[in-house]
Chain A
Amino acid sequence: MSNPQQTMSRRDFFKASGLVAAGAMGGPALLGGLKKARAAVPAPAWDSKFSACDICFNKCGLIARVEDGVVKKLDPNPKFLKSRGMLCARGNAGIAQVYDPDRLKHPLLRKGARGEGKWQRIPWDEALDMAAQKMEEVRKKHTPCGHLFSAGTDLHSQFVSRFAEVYGSFNVTSHESLCLVSGNRAFLDTYGEVPFADVLNSKYIIMAGANRFEALVTPDSMDLMTAIRDHGCKLVTLDPRYTKTAALSHEWHPIRPGTDMAFMLALAHVIISEKLYDPQWVAEKTYGIELLAEHLGPYTPGFAAEQCGIPAEDIARIARELAAAAPASMVYPGRRTSDYEDSTQIRRSFAIVNALLGNWDKPGGLLAARQVGLTGVPYDAPWYDENRDDRIDAHKVPMMFEHEGSFVVTRDAVLNDDPYPIRGWFVYKTNPMGTAPNRKKTIEMMNRMDFVTVVDIAMSDTAWMADLVLPSQSYLERTDPCSGLQGSVACACVVKRDPVIDPLYESRSLFDIIKGIAGRMELGEYFDFTIEEYRKQQTRDIPEALKVMDRDGVYYNPSKVYGIYDGRIYKTLSKKIELYNQRYLQMGLDPMPVYTEPARTPANQFRLVVGRDALTTQSSTANNSLLREFEPSNTLWLNTRAAEGLGIRDGEKVEVSSSVGRQELAAEVTDRIRPDTVYMLSGFNTLSSMQTRSHNNGASINELLEDDYDAVTGNAAMHTTFVTVTRKVA
């Protein structure tokens, strides 16, 4: 034990003697009572205001601590069940985004060549006049569909869709065709809707193509830990990388990339051939079990073992364990599914195993969407006779989501004017230059445009290539519409955002910007309301919600969690869960997933895979000063043995080349990745020099990725690129 008396005496002595440095340095007055150990520390003089995070798309509830109009700290809202009362590292770093000195401050008009980085500051009125005039010109010359609109995940993005529709263009793309549409398609075409995963109550979870402890921190991350630590849930992870999820799993199988379908079909094979499913449930609720049983014949554990590099006995054992824990067991549905040309069919195999487990609508299984209570705000868009018949990316793939589009297919179509020209582009809070594969092609696409307007808070690479850049407000500065959220079993809830600080610089909200442009194009009537009025419309069925949100930062709808489908039919052609999809057959697609072996990695090459960690939201966090402290740059994960073969040591600079691009970065020599696979984080090496932390820093994965796409949805296929890696001689 320490001797408090002694330490106190030394302390007291200095307090009394005046030999204290603080005194010498002009610090605060020295002498409190000598006997008093320490003065009470006062509470901060801050106001606490509710908001919802925006550093990823999850909208975790937060409380902003505001002092003299400045946000000092973002804390989790403990009443926010969806995030289990937490705020992740990215959420905490939101403050660094809002106060980033690199933020856009006023409207900028391109002066030099596109992408040259020469800008002129112009007043808002001039900027809005110009945007409206250029959009009118494009519409006159190329019909309304000659203008493309793209918006990221944001509560104001619905106004971009509305703007596109009243302007007359069908061409709207979201970020989702660079992310999740394949998985959504697969589950929608099996169950009739996209499920949530009841991780919390599950006893056995297979995590494949997802990295839930690391890539995102959502209720599933927290619930997965609770399930493992407190409920005895078993976690089996398939990943070519030793991710943090793999590290915290009971089993980690470094599967050969692109072979997950073989694994899943083998699970189904074992479950059916050993009759490990509930025959009554499957007969009542599913369609096509006999066809599936026949189809699965060749997909034995032995077959899968050869494909996946996982022992056959492990595959068979996992199938039995999974089935034994059913219905409280699952193949985790995952989220980003932009990986292969058969991504939808890969995820269909995930969906089918879940169907055999009989876990739909049950504790520990897959859950249907709950009722949130918000309603849409309808409007009648004008009709333009002189318009095109369809989207520019229509009919290229059979099952595209019309409201999301396909960015990769759209880009090809724009480059070829196929079937018609697009010459204008309005972009809000999404950065295809930094998120779409094959960056050079996106630059070419930019060069096809007569006029590009980008609304964002930072000079993203997409903004960098634009003609007009308009500064938007951050999430802490603006008024947002309501948003309905569901967090698996946690809750069904509604959130909104109100400004917690005044807008910085000359920034305006997207809604105000669109209102300004639309008003100049005689489309003002479609935006003739305030966000407050819009929210009232949204909440007309739950009128108490707005007041409750003011009080708690969130409104909960105590709707049903399980048994939603009791007495209800599935929204599929057979009105059942479709093991066999008849619509696919009609469209010439495989009605059940047929495994095609992915291309073998050529000698001396590596498969480049995409991923994320808890400190990264693609390019939008690349310039975040706080997050960059944890990860100053990105590195190329290179297996130790592979590195030895190439004579590359840890930390050495390497050149990575694919068929479409070349980048340089430091190698991270590690056993945390298969010898045939390499990986790097996205968001780095931006072209924009107004992103000072990511410009000339690390490598751009988008520059390297080839632009294949999922044959069913048009989702980008970002795991099909092979690269060579060579030591960079200094």
Chain B
Amino acid sequence: MAQQLAMVIDAAKCIDCKACVAACKVANDVPEDQFRNWIKPTQDVPAPGVLTARAKFQPGACMHCDNPTCVDACPTGATYKDPETGEVVIDDDLCIGCGNCIPACPYHARFRNAAKRKADKCNYCPERRAAGLPPACVDTCPTKARVFGDVNDPESEAGRLYRKNKGRLTRVAARTDTKPNMFYVGDPGDPTWGGEAVVPASMVAMKEAAPLVKGVVALSGLGVLAMLGRQFLAGNDSKEDRDG
């Protein structure tokens, strides 16, 4: 079976310390006020005394979905699902920074990197993995709430957790079901914040016209040049501000 790299997260263990977010920022040189990962806070303050439910802080990032709407939205194929590892990858060489993929992610996991002016999101730290290290957020997490690995490999810690908790794994729902590969053990905390994937109509048409795809792609190539122009015009003002 092919790999599916994923995170298995125990939200009940998260103390909202932001170590994962800080580690990610440094490891990936993420520009100021931009973030590849997050911890969703709990907002409600319960009545004091015996608390009926302990608060849940929800760590997250790109969920490397099985049905990645960002891939559908990408005009150049820079964003694609790696069939070998299950990762949703951004090929920087191909990305033109058009920004189509940003609203296409119902989890707001993508942003236009202000320095590179290209799409950016969690990539599970491939350089670190090449050095035999876990992704920065996983490595640094104090309570080990984030566990990373191939969930199809029963020997990996992620796979072991995935199997052990199979009956009670949850995912954060979005209005568009992208089949995310971010698995929460039990209650993930707020499960409802996911939005709707907004994929440009031309890209949807292209997907539906699968047999003709190459021809359509050729035509859309012209659009790519236009989008490239848009990137320069869009400038540096993109602020995909997120819960940190």
Instruction: Tell me the complex Cα distance, A250–B42, Å.
Output: 16
User: B155 contacts the other chain (Cβ, under 8 Å)?
Assistant: no
8 Å CB interface, B14-63 against A: 15-19, 21-23, 25-27, 32-33, 42, 45-46, 48-51, 54-55, 57
Task: Give the interface centre of A1, A10, A12 by most chain B CB atoms within 10 Å.
Answer: A10
User: B99 contacts the other chain (Cβ, under 8 Å)?
Assistant: no
Question: Is B131 a contact of A4 with CB atoms below 8 Å?
Answer: no
B64-91 near A? 1/0 per residue, CB < 8 Å: 0011100110111110111110000101
8 Å CB interface, A608-660 against B: 614-615, 625-627, 629-630
Question: Is B77 a contact of A10 with CB atoms below 8 Å?
Answer: yes
Taking CB atoms, residues of chain A closer than 8 Å to B26 are 72-74, 92-93, 95, 626
| Complex partner residue of A89 from B17, B127, B143, CB under 8 angstroms | B17
Question: Is B77 a contact of A14 with CB atoms below 8 Å?
Answer: yes
8 Å CB interface, B106-131 against A: 126-131
Given A20-B94, A40-B130, A253-B49; A9-B80 close (CB under 8 Å): no
Which chain A residue lies CB-closest to B52?
A: A250
User: A585 contacts the other chain (Cβ, under 8 Å)?
Assistant: no
Question: Is A14 a contact of B221 with CB atoms below 8 Å?
Answer: yes
Question: Is B83 a contact of A247 with CB atoms below 8 Å?
Answer: no
Given A1-B67, A22-B94, A253-B48; A7-B25 close (CB under 8 Å): no
Question: Is B15 a contact of A92 with CB atoms below 8 Å?
Answer: no
Q: How many A-B residue pairs have CB under 8 A?
A: 220
Given A20-B93, A222-B142, A253-B49; A11-B18 close (CB under 8 Å): no
User: A251 contacts the other chain (Cβ, under 8 Å)?
Assistant: yes
Taking CB atoms, residues of chain B closer than 8 Å to A1 are 66-67, 179
Stretch at the interface among B133-141, B165-173, B194-202: B133-141
User: A27 contacts the other chain (Cβ, under 8 Å)?
Assistant: yes
Question: Is B228 a contact of A12 with CB atoms below 8 Å?
Answer: no
Question: Is A27 a contact of B93 with CB atoms below 8 Å?
Answer: yes
Instruction: Tell me the complex Cα distance, A19–B225, Å.
Output: 8
A240-254 near B? 1/0 per residue, CB < 8 Å: 001010011111111
User: A498 contacts the other chain (Cβ, under 8 Å)?
Assistant: no
Taking CB atoms, residues of chain B closer than 8 Å to A75 are 133, 136, 139-140
Question: Is B32 a contact of A629 with CB atoms below 8 Å?
Answer: yes
Given A10-B217, A37-B82; A93-B94 close (CB under 8 Å): no
Question: Is B17 a contact of A214 with CB atoms below 8 Å?
Answer: yes
Taking CB atoms, residues of chain A closer than 8 Å to B33 are 629
Instruction: Tell me the complex Cα distance, A348–B141, Å.
Output: 35
User: A217 contacts the other chain (Cβ, under 8 Å)?
Assistant: yes
Given A89-B17, A89-B19, A92-B140; A2-B68 close (CB under 8 Å): yes
Given A9-B213, A20-B76, A247-B54; A38-B89 close (CB under 8 Å): yes
Q: Smallest CB–CB gap between A548 and chain B, Å?
A: 23
User: B233 contacts the other chain (Cβ, under 8 Å)?
Assistant: no
Q: Smallest CB–CB gap between A606 and chain B, Å?
A: 18
Instruction: Tell me the complex Cα distance, A38–B141, Å.
Output: 29
Task: Give the interface centre of B22, B131, B179, B228 by most chain A CB atoms within 10 Å.
Answer: B22
Instruction: Tell me the complex Cα distance, A79–B72, Å.
Output: 44
| Complex partner residue of A213 from B15, B221, B225, CB under 8 angstroms | B15
Instruction: Tell me the complex Cα distance, A37–B49, Å.
Output: 56
Taking CB atoms, residues of chain A closer than 8 Å to B66 are 1-2
Taking CB atoms, residues of chain B closer than 8 Å to A629 are 25, 32-33, 244
Question: Is A244 a contact of B15 with CB atoms below 8 Å?
Answer: yes
Taking CB atoms, residues of chain B closer than 8 Å to A76 are 139-140
Question: Is A87 a contact of B23 with CB atoms below 8 Å?
Answer: yes
Which chain B residue lies CB-closest to A71?
A: B26
Chain B: interface size category:
35 or more
Question: Is A3 a contact of B83 with CB atoms below 8 Å?
Answer: no
Taking CB atoms, residues of chain B closer than 8 Å to A10 are 74-77, 206, 213, 217
Question: Is A43 a contact of B17 with CB atoms below 8 Å?
Answer: no
Task: Give the interface centre of A2, A9, A629 by most chain B CB atoms within 10 Å.
Answer: A2
Which chain B residue lies CB-closest to A78?
A: B139
Given A7-B80, A14-B76, A92-B19; A252-B32 close (CB under 8 Å): no
Taking CB atoms, residues of chain A closer than 8 Å to B1 are none
Question: Is A248 a contact of B130 with CB atoms below 8 Å?
Answer: no
| Complex partner residue of B67 from A2, A17, A91, CB under 8 angstroms | A2
Q: Smallest CB–CB gap between A534 and chain B, Å?
A: 32
User: A671 contacts the other chain (Cβ, under 8 Å)?
Assistant: yes
Question: Is B142 a contact of A88 with CB atoms below 8 Å?
Answer: yes
| Complex partner residue of B19 from A27, A46, A87, A229, CB under 8 angstroms | A87
Question: Is B19 a contact of A242 with CB atoms below 8 Å?
Answer: no
Question: Is A89 a contact of B22 with CB atoms below 8 Å?
Answer: yes
| Complex partner residue of B97 from A21, A46, A229, A252, CB under 8 angstroms | A21
Question: Is B45 a contact of A38 with CB atoms below 8 Å?
Answer: no
Taking CB atoms, residues of chain A closer than 8 Å to B224 are 14, 19, 21
Q: Smallest CB–CB gap between A647 and chain B, Å?
A: 22
Given A10-B77, A38-B91, A629-B244; A88-B17 close (CB under 8 Å): yes
Question: Is B18 a contact of A615 with CB atoms below 8 Å?
Answer: yes
User: B12 contacts the other chain (Cβ, under 8 Å)?
Assistant: yes
Question: Is B15 a contact of A225 with CB atoms below 8 Å?
Answer: yes
Question: Is B45 a contact of A314 with CB atoms below 8 Å?
Answer: no
Q: Smallest CB–CB gap between B241 and chain A, Å?
A: 11
Instruction: Tell me the complex Cα distance, A42–B50, Å.
Output: 52
Instruction: Tell me the complex Cα distance, A38–B77, Å.
Output: 12
Q: Smallest CB–CB gap between A357 and chain B, Å?
A: 21
Task: Give the interface centre of A93, A314, A625 by most chain B CB atoms within 10 Å.
Answer: A93
| Complex partner residue of B214 from A13, A27, A88, A91, CB under 8 angstroms | A13
Taking CB atoms, residues of chain B closer than 8 Å to A89 are 17-19, 21-23
Instruction: Tell me the complex Cα distance, A456–B23, Å.
Output: 26
Instruction: Tell me the complex Cα distance, A11–B42, Å.
Output: 40
Given A19-B225, A222-B142; A13-B218 close (CB under 8 Å): yes
User: A377 contacts the other chain (Cβ, under 8 Å)?
Assistant: no
User: A378 contacts the other chain (Cβ, under 8 Å)?
Assistant: no
Question: Is A626 a contact of B22 with CB atoms below 8 Å?
Answer: yes
Extra contacts, 17 of them, besides A14-B78, A38-B82 (Cβ < 8 A), are A6-B207, A11-B80, A21-B97, A30-B93, A37-B80, A43-B131, A73-B26, A75-B133, A75-B136, A93-B22, A217-B142, A225-B143, A229-B12, A252-B49, A252-B51, A253-B48, A614-B16
Interface CB pairs A-B, < 8 A, 6: A6-B210, A13-B214, A13-B221, A73-B136, A214-B15, A630-B18
Q: Which 4 A-B pairs have the closest CB atoms?
A: A11-B77, A21-B96, A247-B55, A41-B126
